[in-house]
Structure 1
């Protein structure tokens, strides 16, 4: 039978590989720290107020050139009670230093949150948890279109809950409430260079008299609307895509080499080998730079595809860690059987399926209605935060359980070594000692990689939650965190490549029960009945005497 590369590779070659991988890992961190900008950035727009004498009948687009500007809403007297003649307008992006900026496909996604400025008033009182209803139109134009030739991208009614607070000493006319940010829109790709947003806040006076809790009846005195738009930095996208582009052929080639080594054996692949193969395949899918397509084609579902690929990789990675530790822990009657892990894997599969449903609902609806958000309502926000909280708790518990299993494996190694190892010949003792040290290194690397992967996942989820909150402008994803994400991404690739290389069947063969097999003339004994390719699992096999 074949031994694994990890048990047959010389110490000098193994040390050289580790040094190279360490240098590559440092390079990933340096790329993010030196060359990559922050993952996301924002633009803030104070929406201008325009007077529409037609009250929306003409379906006209309002922008700065045709706007009858309303300087101060408190000085404006509407001609009707429905307030539909007031239009809040924002053109994105705004001009800077007299130059008209434009959005690029490199931005990958666009997220908009709305800040409502509410003034304290004795006549128009704000009531807590006030329902807010907005009539929103989103238009776009291309570089070839005329300056004011806007095409409709989406038009819908948006319902949100307005959460504001004010201190007792600030309850004076003209003072402002402190209001939470409201989700407005999210695009999974940046398809057009220019966007135009028109917002109306209609009030149904008859509905207010019948039910004071009707939309816009308790929102108080609104003075301004401010739009904060957040997008992925083009420079970060460029670095990220080039890393994935360079890693894809390397991972694919190593995966193919590992698959050939496995299928050249005169036996069926083992569970651990299948798990490594599945992990490598999921990494190849994650690394494939499909985002290049969005630079030339309109791909609104790209954000959903990215979430699905990442979810697949995390699911297989977490499952692999359990199998990797468990295959060196359980006895021969249950080893190499996926059903032995059904209880542990069921938690991972259930959590992944729940997050998949959540993501399909959130991202799926946004494909045709970018103004939909699960964060829009109080119930939806609670569910979203609850999902993130449960996910964080589950990942911490998972990491603790994984750490427990690895410690148990190390305890088993120490007990076995004390009981059996030094009863063997000097050559076999040195051989197995070397395998043990190498396995311990991989276990330590597994702990380190799992810690950084789980931390990166949690921080990404936390950062996305910040984008939907008052911390959107100063959140984690808009800070200088590129080095952490590029370093973690590189670590995951290095870890999987190391597993593919170290656990592939070696080209050296066992031909007898006690034949010398390696260049160091170390002796290793095979009992003729064991089915594992790893010498360490042979060593950990429980006594049957």
Structure 2
């Protein structure tokens, strides 16, 4: 019969060596991001050229720089008819720099495009607040070995966005410029092709605008140009990130297999806490598995969706584990080791995760076949998004309130138990139980530290992605030097889970008495005759209510 968990039986010297080694590894994770990895994302800005297409798109031909009948000043252009679809805004991605045609690489992982609309103040063409901008967008791609202008169609879409612009009072004169917010344009879940071409038309029927000012694009004001900002993940960051995950995957898998064998060899069923740690390790193994290698050789458009689902699974299991970890050292025998005892607490985790899952499936799911789709582009989609975010935020606040409440109660329980019982026993027993308490407190503090870094990393990532879709796309958080933080947070999560797998695994030490739960010198530390066949760990036994 195993004598408790490993954390209870290791000597202080061995624990110190382990913790020192983990600290060195943690520092290495930070240094890898700081020294060897560039910023997570970079951007390219394109001033879209304005071309004339006499066929108004009916010919189906691609408009590019080589066949463009370029329009100098858009405000001075005289269309051949009332239909302005003959005006085409063109951007080829990426740039040509110093006569060399740059290429996109599969290492870039994703491509995201935001659009800036240049609107000039005009007393004749007036901008109406929150005007609806309708675009006809066509995206093509070209392989590396294809002819220069052999473009193939990737997708075509009709896009509607709300144009939010403002202008100071002193700029309200002809020639003044509106300050307009960035608009989401497209998001590709993989960078599968080296070259892309975008054709944008803004259908305006000038004659219809005279009869009905609310006709499509009649309220967007005097448009003078479009600018496209393309954002992608840096290949250098992808390289460091993938090799880090590739290195950690077999380590996590080996520790998980070792832990599973330890609890599987017990003469009893695994405890709830042991099962929770096992599921946490399994979710980490799924998160760490470097599936991104596939996208380097294969068209893999579902990469972003898969990454979001894996991350969501890990956070759901991690948040659930924190509740169980605190609760299993608190609640009494009638409810301990029973998942039903946590159904009220876990309800908020499941609710918040489900809300974000719905949002992600709608956003990422539709983008698999229409990269120009945005859940925020329609009133119904916006309502779904706002509801999902609101429900998730409320559930998160309530969850952390519960978690903090439980941790405080565990802390007070330890304090009260030690004052009431600990110093009534022998000196040898007192020292060893004090050791168990200090080790548990260290692990609890490490849990709080890991929770803080995990939550900060999650919200910083969400905030950074929101910046990529907004006005701070060029100077956002993810385009800054934040690689060290992300590699450090990744390392901390892995170290934390590996520490739990190692420290809470059943000890390989065997004793003559089943009642001896912590005993390195054949001295009984904590007696629990009522649990002779449960092999529960000493910390939970110590914190249980007295049966006297």
TM-score band, normalised by the shorter chain?
Answer: over 0.9
For residues 324-339 of structure 1, what are the structure 2 equivalents within 5 Å? Answer: 324-339=325-340
Aligned to 1:198: 199
Aligned to 1:126: 127
TM normalised by structure 2 equals 0.96
Tell me how far apart the structure 1 counterparts of residues 286 and 331 of structure 2 sit (CA, whole Å): 31
Compared with structure 1, are the counterparts of its residues 220 and 322 closer, same or farther at alpha carbon in structure 2 (3 Å cutoff)?
Answer: same
- Contact 2:348–2:398 under 8 Å retained in 1: no
- Which sits farther off after the overlay, 388-397 or 217-226? 388-397
Spell out, residue by residue over 1:409-461, the C-alpha distance to the aligned partner (whole angstroms, 9 max, x if none). 11101100111111222222111111100000000000000011111111111
Structure 1 unaligned regions, length at least 5 = none
Distance apart, 1:123 and its partner CA: 1.0
Aligned to 1:173: 174
Distance apart, 1:513 and its partner CA: 5.3
Tell me how far apart the structure 1 counterparts of residues 517 and 92 of structure 2 sit (CA, whole Å): 76
Compared with structure 1, are the counterparts of its residues 378 and 467 closer, same or farther at alpha carbon in structure 2 (3 Å cutoff)?
Answer: farther
Distance apart, 1:397 and its partner CA: 4.5
Compared with structure 1, are the counterparts of its residues 514 and 380 closer, same or farther at alpha carbon in structure 2 (3 Å cutoff)?
Answer: closer
Aligned to 1:163: 164
Tell me how far apart the structure 2 counterparts of residues 71 and 112 of structure 1 sit (CA, whole Å): 25
Tell me how far apart the structure 2 counterparts of residues 97 and 393 of structure 1 sit (CA, whole Å): 52
Q: 2:543 aligns with which of 532, 540, 544?
A: 540
1:455 aligns with 2:448: no
SS of the residue aligned with 1:90?
strand
Tell me how far apart the structure 2 counterparts of residues 514 and 56 of structure 1 sit (CA, whole Å): 84
Aligned to 2:38: 37
Distance apart, 1:541 and its partner CA: 1.3
For residues 227-376 of structure 1, what are the structure 2 equivalents within 5 Å? Answer: 227-376=228-377
Distance apart, 1:389 and its partner CA: 6.0
SS of the residue aligned with 2:456?
helix
Aligned to 2:507: 506
For residues 396-415 of structure 1, what are the structure 2 equivalents within 5 Å? Answer: 396-415=397-416
- Which sits farther off after the overlay, 394-403 or 459-468? 394-403
Tell me how far apart the structure 2 counterparts of residues 467 and 377 of structure 1 sit (CA, whole Å): 20
Cα-Cα RMSD: 1.6
Distance apart, 1:379 and its partner CA: 6.3
Tell me how far apart the structure 1 counterparts of residues 104 and 517 of structure 2 sit (CA, whole Å): 66
Distance apart, 1:268 and its partner CA: 0.4
Aligned to 2:14: 13
Aligned to 2:147: 146
- Contact 2:352–2:391 under 8 Å retained in 1: no
For residues 418-437 of structure 1, what are the structure 2 equivalents within 5 Å? Answer: 418-437=419-438
Aligned to 1:466: 467
SS of the residue aligned with 2:230?
strand
Distance apart, 1:99 and its partner CA: 1.2
SS of the residue aligned with 1:123?
coil
1:479 aligns with 2:480: yes
SS of the residue aligned with 2:509?
strand
Tell me how far apart the structure 1 counterparts of residues 517 and 169 of structure 2 sit (CA, whole Å): 85
- Contact 1:185–1:372 under 8 Å retained in 2: yes
Structure 2 unaligned regions, length at least 5 = none
- Contact 1:375–1:468 under 8 Å retained in 2: no
Compared with structure 1, are the counterparts of its residues 183 and 514 closer, same or farther at alpha carbon in structure 2 (3 Å cutoff)?
Answer: closer
Tell me how far apart the structure 1 counterparts of residues 425 and 247 of structure 2 sit (CA, whole Å): 47
Aligned to 1:221: 222
Distance apart, 1:212 and its partner CA: 2.1
Spell out, residue by residue over 1:78-130, the C-alpha distance to the aligned partner (whole angstroms, 9 max, x if none). 01111011100000001112211110000000000100000111111111111
Spell out, residue by residue over 1:298-317, the C-alpha distance to the aligned partner (whole angstroms, 9 max, x if none). 00001100000000000000
For residues 28-107 of structure 1, what are the structure 2 equivalents within 5 Å? Answer: 28-107=29-108
Tell me how far apart the structure 2 counterparts of residues 380 and 486 of structure 1 sit (CA, whole Å): 34
SS of the residue aligned with 1:116?
strand
TM normalised by structure 1 equals 0.97
Compared with structure 1, are the counterparts of its residues 389 and 455 closer, same or farther at alpha carbon in structure 2 (3 Å cutoff)?
Answer: farther
Compared with structure 1, are the counterparts of its residues 400 and 448 closer, same or farther at alpha carbon in structure 2 (3 Å cutoff)?
Answer: farther
Tell me how far apart the structure 1 counterparts of residues 416 and 470 of structure 2 sit (CA, whole Å): 52
Compared with structure 1, are the counterparts of its residues 241 and 320 closer, same or farther at alpha carbon in structure 2 (3 Å cutoff)?
Answer: same
- Which sits farther off after the overlay, 209-218 or 238-247? 209-218
SS of the residue aligned with 1:507?
coil
Tell me how far apart the structure 1 counterparts of residues 434 and 521 of structure 2 sit (CA, whole Å): 14
Spell out, residue by residue over 1:337-393, the C-alpha distance to the aligned partner (whole angstroms, 9 max, x if none). 000000000000011011111101100000000000113346645754665566455
Query: How many residue pairs get matched?
Result: 545
- Which sits farther off after the overlay, 132-141 or 422-431? 422-431
Spell out, residue by residue over 1:28-48, the C-alpha distance to the aligned partner (whole angstroms, 9 max, x if none). 111111111111111000000
- Which sits farther off after the overlay, 112-121 or 462-471? 462-471
Tell me how far apart the structure 1 counterparts of residues 374 and 516 of structure 2 sit (CA, whole Å): 66
- Contact 1:258–1:504 under 8 Å retained in 2: yes
Tell me how far apart the structure 2 counterparts of residues 48 and 517 of structure 1 sit (CA, whole Å): 75
SS of the residue aligned with 2:372?
coil
Spell out, residue by residue over 1:48-82, the C-alpha distance to the aligned partner (whole angstroms, 9 max, x if none). 00111111121111111111111101111001111
SS of the residue aligned with 2:84?
coil
Compared with structure 1, are the counterparts of its residues 392 and 33 closer, same or farther at alpha carbon in structure 2 (3 Å cutoff)?
Answer: farther
Spell out, residue by residue over 1:116-156, the C-alpha distance to the aligned partner (whole angstroms, 9 max, x if none). 00011111111111111111100000101000000000011
- Contact 2:348–2:396 under 8 Å retained in 1: no
SS of the residue aligned with 1:59?
coil
